[in-house]
Amino acid sequence: MSDITKMRNIGISAHIDSGKTTLSERILFYSNRIHAIHEVRGRDGVGATMDSMELERERGITIASAATNVKWKGYSVNVIDTPGHVDFTIEVERSLRVLDGAILVLCSVGGVQSQSITVDRQMKRYNVPRIAFVNKCDRTGANPYRVKNQLVEKLGLNAVLMQIPIGLEDHLEGVVDLVKMQAVYFDGPSGETLRYEEIPQELVAEANAKREELLDTVSMVSDELMEAMLEESVTEELINKAVREATIGLKLVPVFMGSAYRNKGIQPLLDGVVSFLPNPSEVTNKALDLDNNEESVILKADGELPTVILGFKLEDGKYGQLTYIRIYQGSLKRGDELINTRTRKKLKVGRLVRMHADSMEDINEAYCGDIAALFGVDCASGDTFCHPSLNYSLTSMYVPRPVISLALNPVDKKSSDNMAKALNRFTKEDPTFTTYVDPESNQTIIQGMGELHLEVYVERMRREYKADVETDRPEVAYREAISQRADFNYTHRKQTGGSGQFARIAGYIEPLLATEEDKDYEFVNLVKGGVIPTDFIPSCDKGFQIALQKGTQLGFPIVGVRAVVNDGSFHPVDSSDQAFQTAALSAFREVYEQANPIILEPIMKVVVEGPTEFQGNIFGSINQRRGIIVSSTEDGNTSIIEAEVPLSEMFGYSTHLRSLTQGKAEYTMELAKYNRVPTSIAEELRKNYQEKRKAR
């Protein structure tokens, strides 16, 4: 299938427990990809097909984004399953990069929750058109109307109902299609047979009113529909066309509903996916031309053009090493030659496959816009592969800095080897997961985005790699910074037989302003009259960068520094690259104390959601943890409290919150910014660090 207009790349994004995995499972079932339905926490022990990892199965959550291809009414739909927990945000973000559209799944009882807000914000960042599915309409307290209003109020989306329910809770029978103005029922043991009928008498008035609302809302963003309404010549095709254009233009979010568990409403949702979400050629994708100063170039979804491919996910599963790819431009055949623009290495396309959640199909060719997987390619996730005539890189994905670290101690030699293998794999798969060996303690340190993030990898090491490791307490990734300007004038001189070393540099270091926080470091060269030869200027820059790698207060990197060099001198024989590097490094170390160094700590944006009766306890718990309450929102009996809390105070918060609220509140967190640690705490940290150093 090479017709790009019949191709869809979609994601399913949702709050945990909103029934996303069940929905994915049903989509596979109705599109004949699987032949039986299993439940997520199934009694049959098979588990839903999309949950491909053993660990995920056990915990009932989906961590890795598996891409799977399904066919629906002549369309080829790639479904990218995205994780629901914020600690795995990079996975979500990576998926969003390759999607052209998404289904936002919401629970008809829980509605828009804090995590839906996070996920929606990510979709906004990547301009992903979306349709909403209000799931679990069979549950007690189901109210899709309320959820639709929350989409408007809480997420600021122009949401519009495409359907209304026929019965709710136990009595959910089907839906009314507000475009066709027909009732839809789902017959057969698994709801596979659709039956269209007239709208039940008692729902006619409601359906008319909601159709009116649908037309009003859509006509506000479609002149064509507006005119047709004035001329009273509205047709089904016209409505669908207007909804499609508005959805792709990010001006509208059509809302569908049903119950995946009860097999109701899934086929109309799939119709919605192919009718309203864009095909790959309707989305603009950009790349950076590395041969032309990283100038941004627009990629054309044209199979005849030179190929540009993104490797967005690596997986080391039972089939061996897989690289999931998306083709942005050109096409791909077995035997084609590509170049990895990061490593400049050439590779030949060997085995090419299309993935289903737990099985795969060999293909000879993949087309423009498609998602497929390559076998045995050595690369990191996020690498770009191009036709050898091009040197493009797809826009670098936003990678947040790690905020937490954990020391690992393998119990024996075998575990140590396995651990190394596992870490090598994980760091390639997940750019937010990094690892290094601490030269002082000789311990292996892993770093990531949160406690759970690291815990999951430690678990995977134990299960998949049989690496038995013990862990220390997780530690916060602090930063060091300076708070005032300090001038330096340093001479490096060494005379120990043979050729000597000489370099003198002068200038100052000063803090970068908060408005420049995107930058960690800036080097400014104000040297005049060649007192330091141009060749050695980069050496000074490099020397400072080495100094910044590890501060002397806590041993963490120093950020937010501008280093200015404005004077110096050199010796025609004894000056060298090395001499100037050493001079810069020593100059920095010498004035660091005078620049009044401070410690920065990661501040998390924490969103707690729970019943209003526990609001006081939640406020109290934030206050206890040096947190700042930013806002609280009450809606009926639910309160959402947004706060900024230092990460160092967040350890064990989930347990504490559970006990404070009888388990009825939950929270999410993500990095907000780095802030200065209060003086008394900074003193404590410095003291501990010095003691630890002495102890070694």
Partner 1 sequence: MQRMELHELNALSPLRAFDESLGGGLGKGNLGVLVSRHGIGKTACLVQLATDKLFHNEHIVHISFSGNVEHVINWYKEVFRQIAADKPLKDASAIYNEILANRVVMNFSQENISIEKVLGSLETLIRQGSFNADAVMFDGYKLTVASEEDVRKIKQFALDMRLEVWFSVSPVRSNVEFDENGVPSTIYKYEDLIDALIGLKYNEEIDKVVMTLVRHEGISDPKPMRVTLDPKTMMIST
Using CB under 8 A as the criterion, which residues of the chain lie in contact with partner 1 when the complex forms? Answer: 153-154, 156, 513-515, 517, 612, 615-617, 619-620, 622-623, 628-636, 642, 673, 675
Q: Which is nearer to partner 1, 281 or 612 (CB)?
A: 612
Q: Which is nearer to partner 1, 345 or 485 (CB)?
A: 485
| Contacting residues for 642 by C-beta, under 8 A, at least 6 apart | 605, 606, 607, 629, 630, 631, 632, 633
Q: Which is nearer to partner 1, 389 or 515 (CB)?
A: 515
Tell me how many degrees the CA angle 543-545-551 measures, rounded to the nearest 5: 105
Q: How far is CA 541 from the centre of its chain?
A: 33
State the nearest-atom distance from the C-beta of 273 to partner 1, in Å: 29
| Contacting residues for 257 by C-beta, under 8 A, at least 6 apart | 108, 133, 134, 135, 137, 144, 161, 163, 164, 165, 175, 265
Q: How far is it between the farthest Cα atoms of the chain?
A: 103
State the nearest-atom distance from the C-beta of 515 to partner 1, in Å: 5
Nearest-angstrom CA–CA distance, 213 and 236: 15
CB-CB contact of 268 with 195 (8 Å) = no
CA neighbor of 673 nearest in space, from 512, 484, 479 = 479
Q: Which is nearer to partner 1, 490 or 508 (CB)?
A: 508
State the nearest-atom distance from the C-beta of 264 to partner 1, in Å: 30
Nearest-angstrom CA–CA distance, 65 and 79: 9
The Cβ of residue 1 has, within 10 Å, a number of other Cβ atoms equal to 12
State the nearest-atom distance from the C-beta of 97 to partner 1, in Å: 24
State the nearest-atom distance from the C-beta of 618 to partner 1, in Å: 9
CB-CB contact of 505 with 583 (8 Å) = yes
Q: Which is nearer to partner 1, 432 or 621 (CB)?
A: 621
Residue with tokens 């066309």: 241
Q: Which is nearer to partner 1, 513 or 526 (CB)?
A: 513
Three-class secondary structure of residue 189 per DSSP:
coil
State the nearest-atom distance from the C-beta of 574 to partner 1, in Å: 42
Residue with tokens 């994708």: 285
The pairing of strands 159-161 and 163-166 is: unpaired
State the nearest-atom distance from the C-beta of 479 to partner 1, in Å: 16
DSSP state of 23: H
CA neighbor of 151 nearest in space, from 53, 296, 252, 242 = 252
State the nearest-atom distance from the C-beta of 616 to partner 1, in Å: 4
Q: Which is nearer to partner 1, 203 or 672 (CB)?
A: 672
Q: Which is nearer to partner 1, 117 or 215 (CB)?
A: 117
Q: Which is nearer to partner 1, 552 or 594 (CB)?
A: 594
State the nearest-atom distance from the C-beta of 114 to partner 1, in Å: 12
Nearest-angstrom CA–CA distance, 210 and 181: 11
